[in-house]
Amino acid sequence: MEDSAAPSESVYKSISVTVVIPCLNEEQGIEQVLSRMPEFVDEIIVVDNGSTDRTSEVARGFGATVIREDVRGYGRSYKKGFSIARGDVIVTLDGDHSYPPDAISYLLEAFLHLEADFLNASRFPVRDSRAMSLKHKFGNLVLSAAMSVLFFRWVRDSQSGMWVFRRSILERMRLESDGMAFSEEIKIEALRQAGIRFEEISIMYSSRLGEIKLNPWRDGFHNLAFLLRKRFGRRRR
């Protein structure tokens, strides 16, 4: 936080910023992420999804608010984190240091400049060839193309885990996924709701630190099936 006379001056251009990070055994990555967090961030929430390593201790050491979500799931973790966030704007990223914390200021600038309500940080084009395998690139391309066709809007990276959005739009979204499909669901909801302005810009993406948890085939097919259900399934009230 910035050293200032009035506490309100720590906010970024009059908006307060909360960063939410879901973590499942990310002791290595979270240290790198939090040590690079910009000073102007007002609140950092790390959602520990039942880690058995030192993720929580490391995060607390950097002054983050650590909450625990005992039921496994990426979406589940985000929903828990969002429920206690207080910032005007929420920024998300993984705890594995694959998304760049130092892009947050640039993303916020773009978010304000574009007058967006939801800004998606696209990992494409991937500049570091080690960051994403050909198989992952292909899977991402298929899923993003499917989402673009089904929801009539070109989205370059439907699976990106880095977003900037106004916290107030959450109450207009129907977020049902508890798993990895949460990432595409939040974008679909942003696209679907009238009055939510969706924008997308590129960031640098790097290879993750720590152990891989994603199961590309299982999660890929699940996310594709989720897209179809979300598009053609009955909308529950």
Ligand X SMILES: Nc1nc2c(ncn2[C@@H]2O[C@H](COP(=O)(O)OP(=O)(O)OP(=O)(O)O)[C@@H](O)[C@H]2O)c(=O)[nH]1
Name the binder of 49 from ligand X, Mg ion, none, CB < 5-8 A by kind.
ligand X
Among 5, 6, 134, 212, binds ligand X (CB under 6 A): 212
Exactly one of 16, 28, 49, 223 binds ligand X (CB under 6 A); that residue is 49
Take residue 18 and report the two structure tokens written for it: 């909360």
Residues between 51 and 70 with contacts to ligand X, criterion CB under 6 A: none
Q: Give the HSE-up count for residue 24: Cα atoms under 13 Å, Cβ half-sphere.
A: 17
Q: Check residue 157 for interaction with Mg ion (CB under 5 A).
A: no
CB contact set of 211 (below 8 Å; sequence gap of 6+) = 25
Residue 198, interface with ligand X (CB under 6 A)?
A: no
Q: Could you tell me which stretch among 102-110, 132-140, 147-155, 200-208 binds Mg ion (CB under 5 A)?
A: 200-208
Q: Tell whether residue 100 is a contact of ligand X (CB under 6 A).
A: no
Q: Between 4 and 35, name the residue whose CB sits nearer to ligand X.
A: 35
77 binds ligand X (CB under 6 A): yes
- The count of other CB atoms within 10 Å of the CB of residue 180 is 22
How crowded is residue 133: how many other Cβ atoms within 10 Å of its Cβ? 12
The answer to whether the beta carbons of residues 198 and 207 sit under 8 Å apart is no
- 71 is a site residue for ligand X (CB under 6 A): no
Nearest-angstrom CA–CA distance, 21 and 5: 29
Q: What is the dihedral of CA 31, 34, 36, 39, to 10 degrees?
A: -150
Give the one residue of 26, 42, 48, 94 binding Mg ion; rule: CB under 5 A. 94
Per CB under 6 A, contacts with ligand X among 126-185 are: 161
Stated as kind and residue range, the H or E segment containing 91 is: strand 89-92
Q: Which residues bind ligand X (CB under 6 A)?
A: 22-24, 26, 49, 72-74, 77, 94-96, 98, 161, 208, 212-214
